[in-house]
Amino acid sequence: MFNLKQRIALVTGGGNGIGKAISETLSKQGATVYILDVNEEAGKNTVSKILENGNQAHFFKCDVSNQKEVQNIAQYIYDKEGKIDILINNAGIAHIGTAENTSAEDFNRVISVNVNGVYNCVYSCIPFMKKTGGGVIINMASAASAIGLPDRFAYSMSKGAVTTMTYSIARDFVKDNIRCNCIAPGRVHTPFVDGYLKKHYPGQEAEMFEKLSKTQPVGRMGNPSEIATLILYLCSDEASFITGSNYPIDGGFVTLNT
């Protein structure tokens, strides 16, 4: 089950955290993974680890907010491999603030990566998927798009846009055998969380980590591998009947807290 042999997968933000877990998981199931990330060191390190395990991966330094950059890379992959089977729109940035104290600069930066980045990637990859008979697109939404979180105005807005883009893509390209779904994680323990706690709660990291963990009904944060496993399923032929859906994976955060 979940065999991805001979599949070509493009993973944005695939060098760190959840993206790293996605890249490693897809490659273990046989996919050739192309990692696009602005963090060159992280991206190359993840590729090296995948290669050491006998699987296939490549790295491109890429700013997904730059459409031309994305188009050039997608064209290169298509020219080399003859297809793009899977697109994982994982790249994104966080932001803390309300509608009152979020600057226009920060607001537009969130849009450029979290919204325009998804658009740029689907715009670049869908034509190739149509040429080769279909494909799978998975977008990274968030529990923040379904429930009001304090101080997450711009971020929540961007993930709401990702969710509705998913529905539109699924509707528009279902006849082209392109499936598009999104997932909505709750809090996941990644290096970003550790960095956030260290910056904002120095000396209180353990206490705050426990507090954040307990906001989810299951009493803990998710693991990147758990997110990657859901994405693996949605990319596989076993999920061929699924499109236009948003999958919460949040330890009950949205449903059980509302």
Instruction: Supply the CATH number for residue 78's domain.
Output: 3.40.50.720
Question: Does 67 lie in the same domain as 47?
Answer: yes
pLDDT value at residue 258 = 63
Whether residue 200 is contained in a domain is answered as: yes
Cα distance between residue 29 and residue 233, in whole Å: 11
* Low-confidence stretches of the chain (pLDDT beneath 70): 258
- Asked if residue 200 and residue 138 are part of one domain, the reply reads no
Residue 84 sits in the same domain as residue 205: no
Domain presence at residue 258: no
Cα separations in angstroms, 227 against 46, 183, 188, 202, 231: 17, 9, 9, 28, 6
* Cα–Cα distance list, 175 to 127, 170, 258 (Å): 13, 9, 36
Print the domain residue range for 103.
Answer: 8-186+223-253
Q: Is residue 142 part of a domain?
A: yes
Q: Is 1 part of a structural domain of the chain?
A: no
pLDDT of residue 89: 98
Catalytic residue selected from 78, 119, 155, 247: 155
Sequence-distant (≥ 6) Cβ neighbours of residue 165 within 8 angstroms? 115, 118, 119, 122, 139
Same domain (yes/no): 135, 180: yes
Residue 206 maps to a domain: yes
Q: Say if residue 86 is in the same domain as residue 204.
A: no
**Domain count of the fold of the chain:** 2
With respect to residue 228, please indicate whether it lies within any of the assigned structural domains.
yes
Q: Are residues 62 and 171 in the same domain?
A: yes
Q: Look up residue 239 and give its DSSP letter.
A: G
Q: Evaluate whether 48 touches 23 at the Cβ level (below 8 Å).
A: no
- 3-state SS, the chain, equals CCCCCCCEEEEECCCCHHHHHHHHHHHHCCCEEEEEECCHHHHHHHHHHHHHCCCCEEEEECCCCCHHHHHHHHHHHHHHHCCCCEEEECCCCCCCECCCCCCHHHHHHHHHHHHHHHHHHHHHHHHHHHHCCCEEEEEECCHHHCCCCCCEHHHHHHHHHHHHHHHHHHHHHHHHCEEEEEEEECCECCHHHHHHHHHHCCCCHHHHHHHHHCCCCCCCCECHHHHHHHHHHHHCHHHCCCCCCEEEECCCHHHHCC
Q: How many CB atoms within 10 Å of residue 66?
A: 14
d(CA 94, CA 104): 15
155 is catalytic: yes
Q: Are residues 198 and 87 in the same domain?
A: no
Greatest distance between any 2 Cα atoms in the chain: 55
Q: Examine residue 114 and state whether it is found in any structural domain, yes or no.
A: yes
Radius of gyration for the chain, computed over Cα atoms and rounded to the nearest angstrom: 18
On whether both 128 and 215 belong to a single domain, the answer is: no
What is the enclosing helix (H) or strand (E) of 175? none
Residue 3 lies in a domain: no
- Please list, in sequence order, all residues whose beta carbon lies within 8 angstroms of the beta carbon of residue 99, skipping any fewer than 6 positions away: 153
| Whether residues 79 and 154 fall in one domain | yes
Same domain, 132 and 56: yes
What is the reported pLDDT for 157?
Answer: 97
pLDDT tens, position by position, 159-193: 999 999 999 999 999 999 999 999 999 999 998 89
In tens, the pLDDT along 100-128 reads: 999 999 999 999 999 999 999 999 999 99
